[in-house]
Structure 1
Amino acid sequence: MADPARSAASHADLDEIRESFGFFDAWEERYRFIIDLGRSLPALPETDRTEDRLVRGCQSLVWLVPSFDAGARTLHLDIDSDAHIVRGLIAIVLSAYNDRTPEQILAFDMEALFAELDLMAHLSSTRGNGLRAMVARVRQEAEDRLAA
């Protein structure tokens, strides 16, 4: 179940992220911004950091805890990692997907966002593959909710 304290601070605004990326000239500044985004995320409790919640395909440890609000028909995502840069990438993913309907999640073009931010060109291939694995897992959760 979603923790209200985590829900309140769970994700940055996508438009703010896009705007901030535009202000930075160098990728070092963008990396620092991404890491700062990750620092703003609350940590998952140790009780949620279980093997069954690990996202497969990520180089770092990434845990995903989904919950569905049947009344609002929205999927809430608590995601955390043991790596600072990955926590920042999680914040970007959450800005697009968190507390959205399954239909909104499936309609959102995350690859277009990654291209807009030029993320994949500046991540290692293993980090990029892990980011795509995280997105695939969220999309699978959305598909599962639609099929239920």
Structure 2
Amino acid sequence: METIEKIEQDIIDEFSVYDDWMDKYAYLIEIGTAMPAMEEQYKTENNLIKGCQSRVWFHAGMQGNLLYFTADSDAIITKGIAGLLVRVFSGQKPEDIAKADLKFIDEIGLTQHLSPTRSNGLLSMVKQIKMYAIAFSAKK
């Protein structure tokens, strides 16, 4: 299992090949397009992220002692951002997710280049993922 820090570094390295933010947006769109479809049964009000301008759903489930996520959005760039978060956090221990710093978000320039509403949505997604992690670690 790769650590959260290793996955973050891989993402930082991938984004570093792009100098232009239009290329980075195109890469986010590519990530969103490549995400597997979320099962309709998980697109519920309970899984909807509050604080996002677009509709974003996250579903979490434990397999063994690891937490796995699926996500979807009706906005393609937001879906790409959700895809990055799924990549970083899926298959990790809830305790590691809860304490993760997420340096990659700043290092790839996401916070500086997102609109205020998308930035709020990103923070809401991270907050919800960490809430899932805390909830699942309490169930152990």
Taking structure 2 as the reference length, the TM-score comes to 0.89
Note the aligned Cα RMSD (angstroms). Answer: 1.3
Contact 2:58 2:71 in 1 (8 A): yes
Contact 1:53 1:64 in 2 (8 A): yes
Q: Does 1:142 align with 2:133?
A: yes
* Alignment size in residue pairs: 133
Contact 2:56 2:74 in 1 (8 A): yes
For residue 45 of structure 1, report the CA deviation from its aligned partner: 2.2
Contact 1:14 1:92 in 2 (8 A): no
Counterpart CA distance in 1 for 2:85 and 2:53 is 17
Select 2:112's aligned residue among 118, 121, 124: 121
Contact 1:75 1:98 in 2 (8 A): yes
Q: Deviations over 1:69-124 (max 9, x none)?
A: 2x3x11110111111001110111112111100111122212x2211111011000
Counterpart CA distance in 2 for 1:128 and 1:77 is 20
Query: Runs of 5+ in structure 1 lacking a partner?
Result: 1-12
Counterpart CA distance in 2 for 1:67 and 1:41 is 17
Taking structure 1 as the reference length, the TM-score comes to 0.84
Q: Does 1:77 align with 2:69?
A: yes
Contact 2:29 2:77 in 1 (8 A): yes
1:92 is matched with which residue? Answer: 84
Query: Runs of 5+ in structure 2 lacking a partner?
Result: 1-6
Q: Percent identity?
A: 34
